[in-house]
Amino acid sequence: MRIGFIGGTGPEGKGLAYRFALAGRDIVIGSRNAERAQEAAAEIAGRATGANVRGAENIDAAREGDIVVLTVPFDAQAATLPTLAGAIANKIVVSTSVPMAFADGRASMVMVPEDSAAEQAQALLPNARVIAAFQNLGASKLWKSNAPLDQDVIVCGDDRDAKAQIMQLAEQIAGVRAVDGGALASARYIEGITVLLVSINRRYKVTAGVKIAGLP
């Protein structure tokens, strides 16, 4: 299974790509600039020995990925996704974006007409099977080492089979447990938790994550 990253040169894209490369997945890092994508791919390949990682423009990452992971900043999503709709078609698409803004050093949610970044992605890619996941995994923790994370990834989506596949994929990251968060509409709550985590991390100078207590 090949994973294509849209906007994969940013911290979250590189961090997730690195972890999936460690798990043995083929990776295509996408960017608006192919040279930047190739540089990021080389950096990941240099840290994940034997990994198959290459860089390309976003459109090629969308075409080549069996699963497509969106790691573009939320404010670029509305302009980026319609240009990729044909290449993505009916593939599984993972939304990791969070509609967040900073003012006076404080993080806050940005209101989205569709209620969440994931639901907006589904509206922009009507034929795709959009799943929301990975928003609560800190980019720096993903990238800085290959140590197990000891965190949960809450996965939301309306397509049961697609959600199951992403839950299985999430658990290929060392130390991650996947938790079924229900329908895609629940993504708005997971995105909100991310904003809260950013505030907690800034206050305590840590990279905190989510762990759901009481599950079997």
The strand pair at 129-132 and 106-109 is best described as unpaired
Whether residue 213 is contained in a domain is answered as no
Count CA atoms closer than 13 A to 85's CA, side-chain side. 13
Whether residue 214 is contained in a domain is answered as no
Q: Can you give the pLDDT at residue 104?
A: 84
Mean pLDDT of residues grouped by 10 in the chain (216 residues)? 96 97 97 97 96 98 98 96 97 97 88 97 98 96 95 98 98 98 98 94 92 95
| Domain range enclosing 105 | 2-204
CATH number at residue 199: 3.40.50.720
Token pair 């423009």 is at which residue? 57
Whether residue 209 is contained in a domain is answered as no
Q: Can you give the pLDDT at residue 103?
A: 87
Whether residue 216 is contained in a domain is answered as no
CA distance 106 to 194: 13
Structure tokens at 30: 């996408």
Q: Can you give the pLDDT at residue 126?
A: 97
Whether residue 31 is contained in a domain is answered as yes
CA distance 102 to 53: 33
Whether residue 149 is contained in a domain is answered as yes
Q: Can you give the pLDDT at residue 145?
A: 93
How many domains, the chain?
1
Greatest alpha-carbon pair distance for the chain in Å reads 46
Whether residue 199 is contained in a domain is answered as yes
Whether residue 138 is contained in a domain is answered as yes
